[in-house]
Amino acid sequence: MADAVPYRAEILAAVACVHHAIGYQGGRLELRDVLEVLPGLLVAPMEPRDLLGRAGVTMRIGYHVKIGFDSSLPLPERRRVVAHEIGHAILHCGLLSPNGLPGVPFATEAVGEAQADFFAQELRALRRAKRAPRSSRSEGLPPHARAAKRKDLGAR
């Protein structure tokens, strides 16, 4: 069913931008890291009665986008809802993703919901943690070794 989501490639690009911006290396994704790279986004708990039966809501307020989520939800559900609403904020509410990718159009509310669900699913999909081979990087070399490396390059 995920193949049927319109603008799938653009949504995956937006997720990749967020992952890149937070330096995501795999493992469990922390939503607070995502919120840190989206400074125009405000997230606040809301009373269930103010949400009119919804689990969360995203609204544009001037230059900001506000996400409200049901404060009575258990934590795993809150995380799912906030990730979904971040999808609406980036894809549908003009909140710039970290590299300024534009959002995506949606023809119906159902399509918009499917796009936000897809964004949230991909954002939070558990990826295997990468192990950076630090010893092979030039930053890992002691200063004299780096200088020697520069000399080698200059001699050519």
> Rg for the chain (alpha carbons), in Å?
20
| Span from 19-27, 30-38, 65-73, 108-116 in contact with Zn ion (CB under 5 A) | 108-116
Q: Are 128 and 30 in contact (CB under 8 A)?
A: no
Out of 116, 118, 122, 123, the only residue in the binding site for Zn ion (CB under 5 A) is 116
| Minimum distance of Zn ion from residue 120's CB (angstroms) | 9
Burial 76-102 (b: 16+ CB within 10 A, else e): eebbbbbbbbbbbbbbbbebbbbeebe
Which residues have a Cβ under 8 Å from the Cβ of 24 and sit 6 or more positions away? Answer: 18, 33, 127
Number of shown-chain residues binding Zn ion (CB under 5 A): 2
Phi/psi of residue 83, nearest 5 degrees: -60, -40
Q: Which C-beta is closer to Zn ion: that of 24 or that of 119?
A: 119
Six-digit token pair at 126? Answer: 């558990």
Q: Which C-beta is closer to Zn ion: that of 10 or that of 113?
A: 113
C-alpha span between 34 and 139 (Å, rounded): 27
C-alpha span between 1 and 113 (Å, rounded): 13
Q: Which C-beta is closer to Zn ion: that of 17 or that of 116?
A: 116
| Minimum distance of Zn ion from residue 117's CB (angstroms) | 8
Residue 104 touches Zn ion, criterion: CB under 5 A:
no
| Minimum distance of Zn ion from residue 106's CB (angstroms) | 11
Q: Which C-beta is closer to Zn ion: that of 41 or that of 116?
A: 116
- Contact footprint for Zn ion (CB under 5 A): 113, 116
